[in-house]
Amino acid sequence: MSNTKYIFITGGVVSSIGKGIATASLGRLLRNRGFNVVPIKLDPYINVDAGTMNPYQHGEVFVTEDGAETDLDLGHYERFMDVNCSNKSSITAGKIYKKVIKKERNGEYLGGTVQVIPHITNEIKASILELTNSSSTHDPDIVIAEIGGTIGDIESLPFMEAIRQFKHDVGHENCMYIHVSFIPQIGPWCEIKTKPTQHSVIKLREIGISPDVLICRTEKSLSHEINNKLSLFCDVPTEAVIESKTVKTVYGIPITYERLGLGELITKRLNLPSKAPKNQNWIEIVEAIENPTQQIEIAAIGKYTENGDAYKSIVESCIHAGIPYKTKVRIQWIDSEKIDEMKNIPEFLSSYHALIVGPGFGKRGIEGKLSAIQHARINKLPFLGICLGMQCAVIEYAKNVCGISGATSEEIHPESSDKLIHYLPGQESLSHKGGSMRLGSYQTVIKPGTLAEKLYQSNIITDRHRHRYEVNHEYMEILSKNNLEISGTSPNGKLVEIIELKNHPYFIATQAHPEFKSRPNRPSPLFLGLVEAALKYKSVPVATI
């Protein structure tokens, strides 16, 4: 423990300020300097995890290798830092209180009064140290912990107190605090105002935390006068006031931080070895995103399209897949309910280079998805189905090719006699929703000679899952006889993992969520293949930039 350094990221003034991206960017910056960095998210909400949260409220539920349903910020950490998070990487107030109450019920506090301090705060600190000392983290040089919410929130106070105490536990030289704040512009002259940040830091200092660094989210450059004012009133050195302007791509932020001296500042403050940053690979990634030579348009059908974060990993996976081809991938999200009402789906899809049908729950918008998939299948439009998207592809094929007119899903029509998609065996009687799905990384055996094998360059892969319905094993034979290629199955051959069509330039779907493992430097093979196929699609000219 004594060799590990700790950086705590807090946020002020407004929520959704970009702490997650700031944390991920900081992690990338330190990774570029050769440090072993482990991220962690401390979320003050009472939910045990993000699994039961509405995507409209909270955005995407990100799933880790070990099956934790977490906040979408863990997706940022994984993509930027190229690390795998775990159940230990996500600490919620719900988890903490659940642990403490269990200990109290078991008599572990010896009859003492259980209080926020020290019992809740001790449990928070113990959870941070548990991740630090986990065998999967390989003795980290630095743990970066982001605290969810905004300074002043009542529910975050136990977490703030815990990280305040942490400095005394591990030593001042091993712990630092970074505060991400918003610098607004007001009035007809867009005058920059520092007062909200000053008050945010005052609130932080009332708790007993003095920030070592201010990251200032701003639309305009901060003058020397503004920097000096923030330095004076917030009691941080001027070089520790880091301007964070809106950029073309968030993947450029680590390079911006490095240019502004944040890497050197952190290494000095924490007495870390001075290492020259190796930024070239990351610079090339940013260059490919910011200066594409061509552009494709992909239609994506989803249920939660009103929240831009609901399908965050799919969006980022498309960006990653465009990097090797210097291609900008523009996604047009289509509400599944609206496509249900469309009378001209073929005409509508004729302006796109590819189609994605994404994950979701419930029967709303299913008919429109089936019609869109049928159009892609018949008209050779490149298609990728994910989770529910794969299930819809199987139902469409069973209906229109295999002649099973009543083909459906148990989720949509539980009374049907032709449930091509049904409950995972053993889950029929589950009465609770949280953590009750097939979650995390599972192995898939890929059939030789298939598109899946060509894309993955392997016959055994692992991908992450989040679902409670499967293709009904009883229908696998009739689907295969009618030339639907079941190209990936579970090791025992009973669960359908990947399906594809041989007589189609690119028609593939997976029960898994490949978007959760995509990285800027290692795009998901299924998305990479989709972009390549879209670039070859001749019906719509590819735009040059």
Is residue 133 within 8 A of residue 29, CB to CB? The reply is no
How would you classify the pairing of strands 213-218 and 175-182?
Answer: parallel
- For 220-242, b/e burial (b = at least 16 CB within 10 A) is eebeeebbebbbeebebeeebbb
The full length of the chain comes to: 545
Is residue 207 within 8 A of residue 157, CB to CB? The reply is yes
> Residue 513 catalytic?
yes
Structure tokens at 478: 């009739």
How would you class 268 by CB atoms within 10 Å of its CB: exposed for 0-12, middle for 13-18, buried for 19 or more?
Answer: exposed
Which of 175, 387, 392, 402 is flagged as catalytic?
Answer: 387
Residue carrying structure tokens 């073309």: 248
> What is the rounded CA–CA span in Å between residue 507 and residue 452?
10
Which is nearest to 255 in space by CA: 227, 229, 285?
A: 285
> What is the rounded CA–CA span in Å between residue 448 and residue 59?
37
- R_g of the chain computed on alpha carbons: 25
> What is the rounded CA–CA span in Å between residue 5 and residue 143?
6
Is residue 345 within 8 A of residue 396, CB to CB? The reply is no
Catalytic residues, which ones? 387, 513, 515
